[in-house]
Every structure is written in C-alpha cells, then in structure tokens.
C-alpha cells in the first residue's frame, strides 16, 4: 500500500477511536453510570476540531483529491461534497465547543444540549469517513498511477511537512494519549467515577440550617 493511503487510513482509525470514546462516555453519563469530567471533553473537542482541520483534511484537499480528480473526473461531485463537509465540520465543532462552555456554566442543565449536538456530530463525522473509505479511496486505488502515488508520498514524506505546522504528529499523538488517560475504563485508562447516590451527597450548608430549623 502507498504511504499516503496508509497515513490517511491510520488517521481515520485514530479519529474513529476518539469518536468511539466520546460516544460511549456520553452514553454512560446519560444513563448515570459515570460522572462527567470536563477535562476529557476539552481534550476530545480539541482533537475532533484541530486534528481533521489542521492535519488530516489538508492531505485530502491538497494532495489526494486533486490527484484523484485528474485520473477519475467522474468522482468530482463526490469530492465536492466531501470538501463541503470539511467546511461544515468546522462549524459543527465550533458549535460543540460553545455548548460545552454552556454546560460548564450550568452543570445541572447544560448536558442535554451538548449531548444532543455531540451525538449528531459523531454520526456525521463517521458517515464522512465511511464515504471516503468506501468511494474515494477505492477510486484512488483503482485509478492512480505509480507516479501519482510517488508524488503523493513525497508531499508528506515524514508526516511532519511544513504545510501541517511544526511537528504536528507529536502534538496530536500527545493529545490522543491525554484522551486515553482521562477517559474512564473500559474506553480509556482512568478509574471510573460513578455518580454519588443521593444519600452519599453531603447536605449543603443551607439544607443543614433548614434541617436544624434555624431558617
Ligand atoms: Fe475528509
Ligand atoms: Fe478523511
């Protein structure tokens, strides 16, 4: 397999793993099995926004898609749709960041809105990658010549090409490790923090005073 395809597909797997963790942690919060950790969601949102936008999509938009278009112009509508989705992704992840801030500001009520937007985003991002894996990548395999693949491979030879910024692979690998260390088991490596039962929650100062009939 060409180095280009190996890198693109490895990045799809890394993003899919983050989406899997995101999806399952949300489901466990929804069903009261685990307590929300905002630090995990901060890291997940940084990843799902920055990794595709700054690291992954440039490989597709600037290297892979133009080569495919040259050899298989019939896939142009599909590629235009995928490129439009790359722009749509920026809007969706910005909206998610805004909803995470709203949840932090209102921990009791903010989860539902964030959760609904996150579920939509996860499904959307999975469909986008599936479309690439099922249509564009097979077309590339079929139509690109050895010279095309050499040109593509040379474009991101060490995967830390200047067009992607300084040492970006290391930055995103570190972020991936952070997500793994913050996500509760069995999705990640952190101990599960289960929500406290009502009888375990210490009464607030006001409730104590009410119980004592002082106010
Ligand atoms: Fe894409
Ligand atoms: Fe992709």
Relative to the alpha carbon of 88, which ligand is closest? Answer: 1
- The contacts of residue 111 (CB under 8 Å, 6+ apart) are 29, 30, 36, 103
**Distance in angstroms (rounded) separating the CA atoms of residues 55 and 174:** 14
User: Which pLDDT does position 172 carry in this prediction?
Assistant: 86
pTM: 0.87
CA 111 to each of CA 6, 36, 103, 122, 134: distance values in angstroms, whole numbers, following the listed order: 37, 9, 6, 16, 34
Rounded to the nearest whole angstrom, what is the distance from the C-alpha of residue 175 to the centroid of ligand 1? 20
Rounded to the nearest whole angstrom, what is the distance from the C-alpha of residue 155 to the centroid of ligand 2? 16
pLDDT tens-digit series, residues 8-55: 999 999 999 999 999 999 999 999 999 989 999 999 999 999 989 888
Rounded to the nearest whole angstrom, what is the distance from the C-alpha of residue 47 to the centroid of ligand 1? 15
**Residue reference for tokens 């099995």:** 33
DSSP 206: H
**Distance in angstroms (rounded) separating the CA atoms of residues 175 and 193:** 22
Rounded to the nearest whole angstrom, what is the distance from the C-alpha of residue 215 to the centroid of ligand 2? 61
**Mean pLDDT of the residues in the chain:** 89
Residue 144 has pLDDT above 80, yes or no: yes
For 92-148, give the DSSP string: HHHHHHHHHHHHHH-TTTSHHHHHHHHHHHHHHHHHHHHHIIIIIHHHHHHH--HHH
Q: Is it true that the peptide bond before 116 is cis, omega within 30 degrees of 0?
A: no
Percent of the residues in the chain that have a pLDDT greater than 70, as a whole number: 87
pLDDT tens-digit series, residues 92-141: 999 999 999 999 999 989 999 999 999 999 999 999 999 999 999 999 99
Rounded to the nearest whole angstrom, what is the distance from the C-alpha of residue 91 to the centroid of ligand 2? 17
Q: What value does the CA radius of gyration of the chain take, rounded to a whole number of Å?
A: 22
Which residues sit with Cβ closer than 5 angstroms to ligand 2, an ion? 132
Percent of the residues in the chain that have a pLDDT greater than 90, as a whole number: 70
Q: Predicted confidence band at 209 (pLDDT cuts at 50, 70, 90)?
A: low
User: Which pLDDT does position 99 carry in this prediction?
Assistant: 97
User: Which pLDDT does position 163 carry in this prediction?
Assistant: 47
Domains plus CATH for the chain? 3-211 (1.20.120.520)
Residue 158 has pLDDT above 70, yes or no: no
Rounded to the nearest whole angstrom, what is the distance from the C-alpha of residue 78 to the centroid of ligand 2? 13
Rounded to the nearest whole angstrom, what is the distance from the C-alpha of residue 88 to the centroid of ligand 1? 11
Rounded to the nearest whole angstrom, what is the distance from the C-alpha of residue 12 to the centroid of ligand 2? 6
Rounded to the nearest whole angstrom, what is the distance from the C-alpha of residue 57 to the centroid of ligand 2? 6
Rounded to the nearest whole angstrom, what is the distance from the C-alpha of residue 4 to the centroid of ligand 2? 12
Rounded to the nearest whole angstrom, what is the distance from the C-alpha of residue 61 to the centroid of ligand 1? 8
DSSP 62: I
């Amino acid at each position: 397999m060409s180095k280009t395809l190996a890198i693109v597909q490895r990045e799809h797997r890394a993003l899919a793993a983050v989406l899997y963790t995101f999806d399952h942690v949300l489901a466990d919060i929804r069903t009261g099995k685990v307590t929300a950790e905002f630090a995990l969601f901060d890291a997940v949102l940084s990843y799902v926004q920055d990794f595709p936008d700054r690291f992954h999509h440039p490989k597709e938009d600037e290297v892979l898609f133009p080569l495919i278009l040259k050899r298989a112009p019939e896939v142009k509508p599909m590629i235009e749709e995928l490129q439009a989705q790359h722009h749509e992704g920026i809007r969706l992840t910005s909206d998610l960041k805004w909803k995470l801030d709203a949840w932090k500001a209102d921990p009791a009520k903010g989860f539902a809105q964030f959760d609904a937007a996150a579920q939509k985003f996860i499904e959307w991002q999975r469909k986008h990658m599936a479309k690439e894996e099922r249509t564009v990548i097979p077309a590339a395999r079929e139509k690109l010549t050895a010279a095309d693949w050499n040109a593509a491979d040379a474009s991101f030879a060490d995967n830390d090409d200047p067009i992607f910024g300084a040492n970006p692979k290391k930055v995103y690998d570190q972020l991936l490790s952070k997500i793994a260390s913050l996500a509760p088991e069995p999705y990640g490596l952190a101990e599960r923090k289960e929500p406290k039962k009502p009888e375990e929650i210490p009464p607030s100062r006001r409730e104590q005073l009410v119980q004592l009939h002082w106010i």
